[in-house]
Structures are given as structure tokens and as C-alpha cells.
Chain A
Amino acid sequence: MTALTRRTATASAAPAGAVVSSPRRLFAFGLVCSIVLLIFAGAQVKSHNAGLAEPDWPLGYGKVWPSMVGGVFHEHGHRALASLIGLATVILAIWTVRTDSRAWARRLSVAVLGMVCLQGLLGGLTVWFLLPSWLSASHGTLAQTFLCVAAWLAYAFSAEWAAASSGELGQLEAVDDPDGKATRRACSAGVFAVVVVFIQLILGAWMRHTEAGLAVAFFPLSAAGEVLPEFIDERVIIHMAHRGFAFVAALAVWRLCVVAGSARSALQRHSTVLALVILVQGLLGAMVIWQGRSPFVTSLHVTNGALVLLLTWLLMLRLWLRTRNGVTS
């Protein structure tokens, strides 16, 4: 039985997994990695207050490639990388529409393309309207969303997805949860963790773009042993919301890691990595305060936050795939 006829035979039991070519799979993986780099580059723009270093858009000082000095290096570098990723997303969308047999995957690739276009437009608007906080925070938040949706598309091209869709995954990995109950519970924990982490990211973006990052300039306690500063204003409230919610996010993610690893031993490595990444995220957050919002550390914190969201999202997807396709022994 060829791959194509096997796919057709299992269509009635589960959505047919497409056999995606290695080049397309690798291209999508490369795109996701590039988006993570772009998020770092974008974070560097804010960390160096270079968001308006190029007063015009889409050109820079009237040129396609201006002199890359000072803040222009960060801002234009970010724009250039974003343009390349935009182009890569166009290529992937056309490639997927032309070659993927799954209608939903084709629609998803077009959605990813729409998101990158919207993200580019938001970036331009932040320059034209001189960085209003809500617009800058939206630009940062959409970047994380775009990352997750692109990762979903890349995962849809993976061998694991194809195996799950064709019912072969149960033969390829140990199934520790015969009735699927633990997997479904873990999947629910995954959905909850994704929502919580996303809220935390929004709070972080809001804090950053309202200049509240050092509204509470000590961690964990002040010299007098206080949790809160003496004077509390709006910026302190925003800052403490992000700081306090970090504990909620950490607990939600660690719970997910535990239940996911318990439900599916095949997901233990993923769970362990995620547990470590969120630990690093907490440490980076503390370092941002201790180092007085050093640009590089702050940008790392933003990027690692994106990784937390990405890994949480992917873990949830992997659990969902296993519940949806009823992967059992």
C-alpha cells in the first residue's frame, strides 16, 4: 500500500495526514526559528529606545538601506529581518497552497501570511503615529501570536502529525494512557497554561510600552524588606501585575509539564525542557531588575518569554493531537 492509498484508507477514521516533503518541513522549521530571532531583534529596538530612530516608513531616511549607525542599526535591522521573514512566509504560503492536500493546512498558511502582513502594517503605524503605547504593545503581542500560528503550521508538516493522523503514532511510541483520560486532562491543563502565559505576555508588553519596567526597582524585596514601594502609582500597579502573574503562569506551566509527562512518556523531554525554560524566564526577569533593565538582558527576557509560549503551545498541540486521533495501543 502506498503512502497515498494508506492515507485515503484512514480518511474515514481521522483526518488524512499529508506527506509533507522534507524541504517544506525544513523551510517551515527554519521560518519558526527565524521568527524567534526576529522577536529578539524587535525586543532590542525597544530595549535601546530606537523605535523612532527612523522617522519614515517603509523607507529609512528616504533610502532602502540607510547608514546603520546608532539606533538605526537596531530599527532598520529589525525591519530588514522582518521583510525577509515576510518574504519567506509568502513563499511558504504559496508552496503550501499549491502542494498540500489538506484544505485546513492551506487555509492556515494563508492565515499566517495575513498575520505577517498585519504585523508589518502595525510596525509601520507605530512609526507614523509616534509609538502610542497600545499600538506598540499590540505589535509585540501579535508577534508572539504569529510565532505560535507559524509553529502550528510547521507542526502540521511534521512526521509526528502525519503519523498521528494516519493512526500510526500509537505504534511508534509507548502509550501510557490507554483510555486517554490522563491525556485529555493534560490537554485541558495545556489550554489553561497557554491562556495564562499569553495573558502574562500581554501584561509584559503593556508594562514595557508604558515604561513601567523599573517602576519597582528592587527584587524580591526592598532594602526595608517591603514587597511594594512606598509610593504606588499606575506604573507600579502595571509592574506588579506582571510580576505577580508570573507566579500564576509558572505554576500553570509546571502543572502542565507534570501531567503531560505523566500522561505520555513520549512528551517527557518536551515537558522537562519547558519546565527549565520557564525557570530561566524567572531568573531573567529578576536579572532585568538587578541590572537596571540592561538592554541585552531585557531582550533575552522577552525572547525567552516567547519560547515559553511557543513550547507551551506546542505541548498543548501535541497533547491535543493525541486526544483527537485517539492514539491508543
Chain B
Amino acid sequence: MLAKTALVVLIATSFAANGLAQEAVAPAAKTEAPAAAPAVAAVTGQVSFKGEAPAPSPVDISSDPVCEGAHADGLARSTVLVNGRGGLMNVFVSLTGVPDKRYKAPEQPVVLDQTGCTYVPHVFGMVKKQDIEIVNSDDTLHNIHAMPKKNKEFNLAMPMKDMKVKKTFKKDEEAILIKCDVHPWMTTWCFSMEHPYFGVSDADGNVTVNTADLPDGDYGVTLWHESLGTVETTVTVAGGAGTFKATFE
């Protein structure tokens, strides 16, 4: 009798243990893998340069000890920045033929930093009326002098480190030169756009254009480089995505 009871208890215990084990496992089994993030609608592109890029030319930065200190090995400038695989940097890419409607400027400002006596980024885009937050990260004088043709020109003193100023361009305009008159090698280019479908190529020549809310279809792609000019191509957007390639010579 006792043995039968022990056997029943043992079996019951086994089942219970198994159940517990399953329970221990079950939560894990029941835990689903995190849902995959919804895909960001984007057109991606590869911009390359064919030919021999001019060698960077040295810049005389001796007029400001802060700039000299930031570049112990000197500073050299080149407008044609190509990586080992021909990828071209600092190309402004924008889509054309997008729906003709009013696009609201993002709340988030574009940040333009004066750091190491250079502008970062060297080329950037904004939706018209979007704020540009201009920052002086250097412990020296800079002036921020924008020279648009359609928008209002401005020239502001930024004498202190960590000083911030907000400006905007109210009209759409391409290739607005912004420079520092204290440090003549400092230049940056701003594109004030009607729409948000633009991007700038990185050091590998890769560019991503966010196409959220952009209907599928065929669009033009305009690529601008400050010294190489403009190249045009096309891209087909399907399911919010598309790819293109372009080459400057």
C-alpha cells in the first residue's frame, strides 16, 4: 500500500516537476522575439567619383593660435573628398518631381557647428523655415556670414565658446554659401528646400534620402557638388524604397 502510494506520489511529483519545468520553459517559449521595427522608407544611393582627385592644398591657419592648436599637423583642404573605393563625400542629393504641396518644417533644428575652425557639416540641407542652430565650439572668434541670393543676408558675431544662435532661411534656395570672414578657409553650403526629400553623401559616398509619405513612382535625382557641378539621374520608389547610383567625373 505504502509502495503504491509512494509510486503515485513519485509519478505525481514527476508530472508536477515536468509541469513546472514546462512552465519554466513556457515563459521563454511564450516570450516572442521582439517585433521587427517597421522599415524606414528611404531611397539609398551611391555617389562615386571617376578620375584622379586633386590633392588637398595646405591652408595657412597661423593667423589664429586656437586653429593652429586644433590642427597640430596642419590643415589641408580639398573640395573633392574620395575614399579608397571612389566614394565621393559631401554631395547634396535631392529628389525632383515630388508632390507639389506645402511641407511643414521639422521642429528639430539643423545643427551647424564651428569646431576646430571648420564647419561641420560642410554641406547640409534644411526645409525652408526650419531653424539652423549655429554653435561655436571653439574658444575663438567666429563670425557667421551667410550670403544667399534670394534670402536675407546675415553676418553675426560669435565670439564665445558654446555660444549658440538660431537663424533660418524663409525661402527655398540652393547652394547658399556661408563663411567666416575671420578665418577665410571656413565655408559651408546650405540648401533651403521646399520638401524634405534630400540627403548628403557620407565619407563612403553613401546617401540616404528619407521618403516617408512619398508616393511610389519615378523621381528625378539631382546631385550637386561644390566644385564638380551637377549630375542628374532617376530613381524608382516602390514600397518607399529605391536605389540609385551616380558618378561625377
Which residues of chain B from 178 to 192 have any CB-CB distance to chain A below 8 Å in the complex? 180-184
Which residue from A61, A73, A130 sits with its C-beta under 8 Å from B157?
A: A61
The answer, yes or no, to whether B140 is at the interface (CB within 8 Å) is: yes
Show the binding face of B for A, using Cβ within 8 Å: 63-67, 140-141, 143, 145, 153, 155-157, 159, 180-184
Query: How far, in angstroms, from A62 to B163 measured CA to CA in the complex?
Result: 14
B153 surroundings in chain A (CB, below 8 A): 130
B157 surroundings in chain A (CB, below 8 A): 54-56, 61-62
A54 surroundings in chain B (CB, below 8 A): 143, 157
The answer to whether B181 touches A69 (Cβ under 8 A) is no
Query: How far, in angstroms, from A49 to B182 measured CA to CA in the complex?
Result: 9
Q: Mark A34-74, 1 if CB is under 8 A from B, else 0.
A: 00000000000000111111111000011000110111110
The answer to whether B64 touches A53 (Cβ under 8 A) is no
The answer to whether A53 touches B143 (Cβ under 8 A) is yes
Interface of B is mostly: loop
Closest 5 CB pairs of A and B: A70-B182, A53-B181, A69-B64, A61-B159, A55-B157
Query: How far, in angstroms, from A329 to B157 measured CA to CA in the complex?
Result: 65
Known interface pairs A61-B159, A62-B159, A130-B153; A67-B181 also in contact (CB < 8 Å):
no
Query: How far, in angstroms, from A130 to B179 measured CA to CA in the complex?
Result: 13
Which residue from B67, B141, B145 sits with its C-beta under 8 Å from A61?
A: B141
Min CB–CB distance A175 → chain B (angstroms)? 56
Which residues of chain A from 270 to 299 have any CB-CB distance to chain B below 8 Å in the complex? none
Among A54, A67, A70, the one with the most B-chain Cβ atoms within 10 Å of its Cβ is: A70
The answer to whether B63 touches A73 (Cβ under 8 A) is yes
Which residue from B140, B156, B180 sits with its C-beta under 8 Å from A67?
A: B140
B141 surroundings in chain A (CB, below 8 A): 61, 66-67, 69-70, 72
A50 surroundings in chain B (CB, below 8 A): 181-182, 184
Residue on A with the closest CB to B144? A55
Min CB–CB distance B143 → chain A (angstroms)? 5
Min CB–CB distance B154 → chain A (angstroms)? 8
Among B67, B181, B183, the one with the most A-chain Cβ atoms within 10 Å of its Cβ is: B181
Known: A61-B159, A67-B140. 13 other contacts (CB 8 A): A51-B181, A55-B155, A56-B157, A69-B63, A69-B66, A69-B140, A69-B141, A69-B182, A70-B64, A70-B183, A71-B181, A71-B182, A73-B63
Which residues of chain A from 232 to 290 have any CB-CB distance to chain B below 8 Å in the complex? none
Known interface pairs A67-B140, A69-B66; A52-B155 also in contact (CB < 8 Å):
yes
Show the binding face of A for B, using Cβ within 8 Å: 48-56, 61-62, 66-67, 69-73, 75, 130
Among B63, B64, B141, the one with the most A-chain Cβ atoms within 10 Å of its Cβ is: B141
Which residue from A48, A52, A67 sits with its C-beta under 8 Å from B143?
A: A52
Residue on A with the closest CB to B160? A61
Query: How far, in angstroms, from A67 to B65 measured CA to CA in the complex?
Result: 11
Query: How far, in angstroms, from A70 to B65 measured CA to CA in the complex?
Result: 10
A56 surroundings in chain B (CB, below 8 A): 157
Residue on A with the closest CB to B154? A130
Which residue from B63, B64, B65, B143 sits with its C-beta under 8 Å from A55?
A: B143
Known interface pairs A56-B157, A130-B155; A71-B140 also in contact (CB < 8 Å):
no
The answer to whether B155 touches A72 (Cβ under 8 A) is no
A71 surroundings in chain B (CB, below 8 A): 63, 181-184
B65 surroundings in chain A (CB, below 8 A): 69
Query: How far, in angstroms, from A8 to B140 measured CA to CA in the complex?
Result: 64
Query: How far, in angstroms, from A53 to B145 measured CA to CA in the complex?
Result: 9
Min CB–CB distance B118 → chain A (angstroms)? 13
Min CB–CB distance A46 → chain B (angstroms)? 12
Residue on B with the closest CB to A45? B181
Which residue from A51, A52, A70 sits with its C-beta under 8 Å from B63?
A: A70
Min CB–CB distance A294 → chain B (angstroms)? 13
Residue on A with the closest CB to B142? A70
Known interface pairs A55-B156, A69-B64; A49-B184 also in contact (CB < 8 Å):
yes
Residue on B with the closest CB to A51? B181
The answer to whether B140 touches A52 (Cβ under 8 A) is no
